[in-house]
Amino acid sequence: MRFSSNIASRTLAASCGLFVVACSDDNSTDVKQIAPVALKSQSVTPALAKSLVSGVEIFSLIGSDDKLSGSPNFVFGGSADGAGFTRNTDGSFSLLTNHEDNYAVSRVKFDATLKPISGDYVVNSTAGRYRLCSATLATPETHGFGPLFLTNGESNEESEILAVDPSGPANTPRYLAALGRWNSEQSLPLPKVAYPNRTVIIIGDDDSGAEGGQLAMYVANTVGDLDNGSLYVLARTDNNTRERDMVVGQTYPVQFRQIANQKTLTGRQVNLAGVTVNAMRFARVEDVDYRKGSAANNREIYFTVTGQNNTGVNADYSRSKYGRVYRVKLDESSPLSGTLEVVMDGDDRNGPAKTFQNPDNIYVGTNYVYAQEDDNGYGDEAHDAYIYQYNIATKDVRPVIEFDHRRTATDAAIYNAIGGRPAGKAGWEYGAMLDVSTELGQENTFIIALQPHSWRGTKYQGVDGGTVRPTENQASQMVIVKGLPR
């Protein structure tokens, strides 16, 4: 998951073409008065998602079968996940995308009509090293530093967080030791107005081991300092570490407690240090986002816990199985204290989130939250993966988008080739959900990454040029969705 970046006018020379951006503040909820881009499908692949509500349109943007005129050998990789999107000063657009199972990051340029015209890999699997999940494109205008694409290793607890220069030479990421080693899904810098003169980054730890997943925080007292700050993990003030002891409707005081000397620690040591300070043990912390709007809104953090089966280390069912969405409200004076509450609970099979099949990615606007499913394959899935809309004011929950596996279409064999589950058993997942309303001059418009895991073939192997994942053979797609309120 990640929202679009909003970088002030600057010129960045990139190997895939001129990477120049001219956008507004990320916190704005108003579309600037630019000529709206006429939306239409740009890909040879049909949109692999469908709306469940009226007034929503879905267009295919780019997929793995598209051939780009400016880069005839480029293939958009599989398992599209975290991303960042920018409008260039010449009216063109640029997109950075994590390809999770390729361990790679692509960058694609689009013309002023949103037609993809060229692409390359700014990080291949050799340099990426790890499964790369959610990401954030940090910018000076929003975050106070950058432009820098923060992407997250999620292969195991020893994985690292990478910083990628979106205009830099290929395969030169910086590995951020000060942010610690995690099975990380997301590293989200808060806007600069949330805590002026500091850099605060929220980290989601997608760990299912004995110590559970953590919600972590990196704090530096200098804006943009990613090397000399301190690392913390979330704990309840009463030291209760059991996730399912918390229920919807209750608020729990929390604080972030320091993990000392994190740059010298292995991931195993980081996890054990969290045990020492009674860190909360969540069932796989996935994506993280902040509420858009005012500085107070920006200190309101939402995160998904995808859940894990109630076997093994979760045999006592102390952690979520079907997934949850949480909200942390950080104190105005310090990011190290606040309150925690459950806003959607998939384990309450009679509650508003009773149909949850393991939420993964998340987008938070001013008034709405969107939680995107990645079912864990328990065998009791009742629908293809949904995107849920949560109304912050009314607390109403409803599914608004569902995958379209095209199981009965004439081209069904293409998208259900390998590894698909029986009809009605889900198996696909979502990646980034980017608010691109400002960039496209179209209110309530998003780019969403789709991971159709059964869309595979030998022609998708080795497309990033790296040496670590030469046989990875998935395909994927990005779509544009118009009509969902922010």
State mean pLDDT over 140-147.
Answer: 96
State mean pLDDT over 317-326.
Answer: 98
Q: ω into residue 399 within 30 of 0, thus cis?
A: no
Whether the pTM exceeds 0.85: the reply is yes
**Distance between CA 348 and CA 352 in Å, rounded?**
8
Q: Which residue has 């740009």 as its token pair?
A: 42
Report whether pLDDT(26) > 60.
Answer: no
The mean pLDDT of the chain is 93
Give me the sign of the Cα torsion angle 307, 345, 280, 316.
negative
- CATH placement of domain 10-482: 2.120.10.30
Report whether pLDDT(406) > 90.
Answer: yes
Q: Which of 130-134, 183-187, 374-378, 463-467 has the lowest mean pLDDT?
A: 374-378
- Tell me the residue ranges of DSSP E strands in 352-421: 359-364, 368-373, 386-391, 397-403
**Distance between CA 440 and CA 4 in Å, rounded?**
11
Check: CB of residue 57 under 8 Å from CB of residue 39.
Answer: yes
DSSP string, 79-112: SEEEEEEEE-TTS-EEEEEEEGGGTEEEEEEE-T
**Distance between CA 110 and CA 47 in Å, rounded?**
18
State the amino acid at position 222 in one-letter form. Answer: T
Burial of 215 (0-12, 13-18, 19+ CB in 10 A): buried
Report whether pLDDT(22) > 90.
Answer: no
